A and B are shown apart, each in its own frame.
Chain A
Amino acid sequence: MLKISLANLDALFAAIAEKEALYIPTDKAGQAQYMRYENGMKMTDALNTVRSAKDFFFPQTENLVNFKVSGKTIEIIDPRTEHEDFVVFGVRACDVRSFSILDKVFLLSDPVDTYYENRRKHGTIVSMACTRPSETCFCGSFGIDAANPEGDAVCWKTEDSLYIQAVTEKGEALIEKIRPVLEETDDSAVEAQKAATREIMGKLPLAKFSTEKFGGEVLMKVFDSEKWASLSEACLGCGTCTFVCPTCQCYDIRDYDTGHGIQRFRCWDSCMYSDFTLMAHGNSRLTQKERFRQRFMHKLVYFPANNNGEYGCVGCGRCLSKCPISMNIVKVAKSLEGDL
């Protein structure tokens, strides 16, 4: 176990930033967001960023291919370049788990998404254990340990120090580079903090929340539930829940006419949007009830059915905080589980 005093945190960030592009969660424009580290930047005290860390690997928009038209010829330009090495610092346990869910979609099944792979290969994740989880947190329901997150390297923040430990080869390589600013210590402080965090996690209002009744086996039962109508009644059809969600991975591919060519870009899409399933023949999900149902079916039923029982949710609580009408996966699951 290695440590650095919190007073010295700047030195740690500077040491990383010297070697690789470093991103830390910081307070900007009134809220916590990931920013590229610059000298003197302070890490936020907020529990988590409003936008999840999925942006680093699956950005909201990216160009896939460009076409340049001149006369009767079309030139195809591949905008991909080898991504620079980068470090994402301070990712919470829930968001770290979301990467493995995205991996299942983009990396571990054919065809591999090379754009995603490019970023994933060059990214090193330094996670941060939680100390003050919020009432909206329920990562424990998905077997995530907020006190001991996954990641390439893990940090624990105590009153006066930051403890760091490598988990993977990438993490070891990173720590090797910044070894001079760190000092060796035992792990008693970290163990004490883990125990304290776990005790708090047990006291959270959603500590007992579970989705285990859901999964592929109950597909039709959940799909046909009469409760969807009332649950979705007030839904505005906005994309807040999907866009703040660390595991939502649906996207659209569109062509943008630049006036001198075409940019084929991909952007996040939301199953809550009315044109999400719009096709040449029309739209297969005509009402908000069906769109709303799709989002929760995907997370609670379809995803586990296709991924050995793993749910498409990590319990980060963002949708609980951000939905304009306060409708969310917890309310949906609790309402539906009575029928199962």
Chain B
Amino acid sequence: MQGMMLNRAKELLSDGTVNRVLGWQAGEFVYDITPAVFETEEELDAGFVYNGFCGNNLSKYLVKETLKDGKILVFLKPCDTYSFNQLLTEHRIDREKICAIGIPCDGKTSGEMLKAKGISGITGISEDADNFVVDTIYGQTTVAKADALEERCKTCKSKKHVAYDELLGEDGEILDSHRFDMVAKLEAMTPDERFAFWREQLSKCIRCNACRNVCPACTCEQCVFDNPKSGIAQKAAADSFEENMFHIIRAFHVAGRCTDCGECSRVCPQNIPLHLLNRKFIKDINELYGDYQAGAEVGTRAPLTNYTQEDVEPSIVYHREGK
């Protein structure tokens, strides 16, 4: 796939269709891949890569890139295409300046995921159909891909591309992902258990803002948490209240617009399962206002900027036991 992508990128660069390519750049090790803009074939040859570690969702970079001159080529994995549509819906990116190529994805992993399996001293990684073969200075280990996948990929919602100009490889299907299972499990707990769960998780927060900054739905010019005049820009999670408030409001601000790409949880240095907050909103929206998948189509009205006269009353929360 990497070869096909590289060839197509070079073609589109040389025939002048695009003047930049947004993709992934190889790093120091096998797994530390950085999003990058390539302007020449030489740059592409030197660094362009696509493999099981290219987890970054590139769609948000288009906000910045489409303000520049010329057309940019972007490679989008299936879940990235949902974010792409959502950004189009919100008029945050300029479709005219983008050539989008859909690429298949078998699920992504990361150096952190491998290390969580106790692997250390990684010097090389190769992959076959089902496994990663990891060379380390302490010896070789084989990890089943299915085991090493990030949580968001284990519960992948769709292998189908919902937006592209061209498609490389085969398109997939929307999957029955069971992605709300963990939310349902939490809902089934007692409030005390849920409180304990979230305190343990959210108290790890260091307010690095990575979850917010990486989020393709968080594209405000100035975030309320960065606005000193808002009275809530405290910078640090100085108090358990701040931790709760930051995460409730972060999730709320993207409720109905979150495509569930899972970048928030991927980047969290403290491994807080932030996607569960977003999925709670998605699950509630689906159950209360009808199924809605943000980014599935361009131009749809998000559930929180919409209503029906028959909507349920907020008091339903008292009666939905555990939900």
A-B complex is real: yes
**Interface residues, chain A, CB within 8 Å of chain B?**
28-31, 33, 47, 50-51, 60-61, 132-135, 200, 203-206, 230, 233-234, 236-240, 242-244, 252, 254, 256, 265, 267-270, 273-275, 278, 320-322, 324-328, 330-331, 334
- Of A61, A132, A233, A331, the residue contacting B236 (CB under 8 A) is A61
Q: A233-B37, A330-B28 are in contact. Are A134 and B123 (CB under 8 A)?
A: no
Nearest CB in chain A: distance from B267 CB, A:
4
- Of B32, B213, B228, the residue contacting A238 (CB under 8 A) is B213
Q: A268-B236, A331-B28 are in contact. Are A204 and B137 (CB under 8 A)?
A: yes
Nearest CB in chain A: distance from B224 CB, A:
13
- Of B56, B200, B234, B271, the residue contacting A325 (CB under 8 A) is B56
Q: A204-B137, A324-B266 are in contact. Are A256 and B36 (CB under 8 A)?
A: no
Nearest CB in chain A: distance from B126 CB, A:
16
Q: Among A230, A242, A334, which residue has the most Cβ atoms of chain B within 10 A?
A: A230
B273's nearest neighbour on chain A, judged by CB, is A30
- Whether A326 contacts B33 by the Cβ 8 Å rule is yes
**Interface residues, chain B, CB within 8 Å of chain A?**
27-29, 31-37, 56, 61, 111-112, 115, 120-123, 136-138, 200-201, 204, 206-210, 212-214, 226, 228, 233-238, 266-267, 269-271
- Whether A325 contacts B208 by the Cβ 8 Å rule is no
- Whether A29 contacts B201 by the Cβ 8 Å rule is yes
**A contact residues around B122 at 8 Å (CB):** 134-135
Q: A236-B214, A243-B269 are in contact. Are A326 and B34 (CB under 8 A)?
A: yes
Q: Among B32, B37, B200, B226, which residue has the most Cβ atoms of chain A within 10 A?
A: B32
- Complex CA gap A158/B91 in Å reads 60
- Whether B120 contacts A325 by the Cβ 8 Å rule is no
**B contact residues around A51 at 8 Å (CB):** 206, 270
- Of A204, A238, A252, A320, the residue contacting B121 (CB under 8 A) is A204
Nearest CB in chain A: distance from B320 CB, A:
28
- Complex CA gap A28/B267 in Å reads 19
Nearest CB in chain B: distance from A331 CB, A:
6
In the A-B complex, the 9 residue pairs with the smallest Cβ-Cβ separation, listed nearest first, are A267-B236, A324-B267, A326-B32, A238-B210, A236-B213, A239-B208, A234-B35, A322-B269, A61-B238
Q: A135-B123, A204-B121 are in contact. Are A324 and B137 (CB under 8 A)?
A: no
- Complex CA gap A230/B36 in Å reads 8
**A contact residues around B111 at 8 Å (CB):** 321
- Whether B36 contacts A133 by the Cβ 8 Å rule is no
**A contact residues around B234 at 8 Å (CB):** 254, 256, 267
- Complex CA gap A260/B121 in Å reads 54
Q: Among B111, B121, B136, B233, which residue has the most Cβ atoms of chain A within 10 A?
A: B121
- Of A230, A243, A326, the residue contacting B208 (CB under 8 A) is A243
- Complex CA gap A334/B26 in Å reads 14
A28's nearest neighbour on chain B, judged by CB, is B200
- Of A47, A205, A236, A330, the residue contacting B123 (CB under 8 A) is A205
- Whether A135 contacts B56 by the Cβ 8 Å rule is no
- Complex CA gap A240/B271 in Å reads 12
- Whether A256 contacts B238 by the Cβ 8 Å rule is yes
**A contact residues around B28 at 8 Å (CB):** 205-206, 320, 330-331, 334
Interface of B is mostly: loop
Interface of A is mostly: loop
Nearest CB in chain A: distance from B253 CB, A:
17
- Whether B200 contacts A267 by the Cβ 8 Å rule is no
Nearest CB in chain A: distance from B246 CB, A:
13
What are 30 sample pairs from A and B whose C-beta atoms fall under 8 A apart?
A: A29-B271, A31-B204, A31-B271, A33-B204, A47-B120, A50-B271, A133-B120, A134-B120, A135-B29, A135-B122, A200-B137, A205-B123, A236-B267, A238-B210, A238-B214, A240-B208, A243-B207, A244-B269, A256-B234, A267-B236, A268-B235, A273-B226, A275-B226, A320-B32, A321-B111, A321-B112, A322-B269, A326-B31, A326-B34, A327-B34
Q: A204-B121, A233-B37 are in contact. Are A324 and B61 (CB under 8 A)?
A: no
- Whether A132 contacts B121 by the Cβ 8 Å rule is yes
Nearest CB in chain A: distance from B8 CB, A:
22
Nearest CB in chain A: distance from B20 CB, A:
11
A278's nearest neighbour on chain B, judged by CB, is B228
**B contact residues around A273 at 8 Å (CB):** 209, 226, 235
- Complex CA gap A330/B28 in Å reads 8
**B contact residues around A31 at 8 Å (CB):** 204, 270-271
- Of A236, A267, A322, the residue contacting B235 (CB under 8 A) is A267
- Whether A234 contacts B120 by the Cβ 8 Å rule is no
B212's nearest neighbour on chain A, judged by CB, is A238
- Complex CA gap A267/B112 in Å reads 28
B242's nearest neighbour on chain A, judged by CB, is A61
- Of B207, B226, B238, B270, the residue contacting A274 (CB under 8 A) is B226
- Complex CA gap A31/B116 in Å reads 9
**A contact residues around B123 at 8 Å (CB):** 135, 205
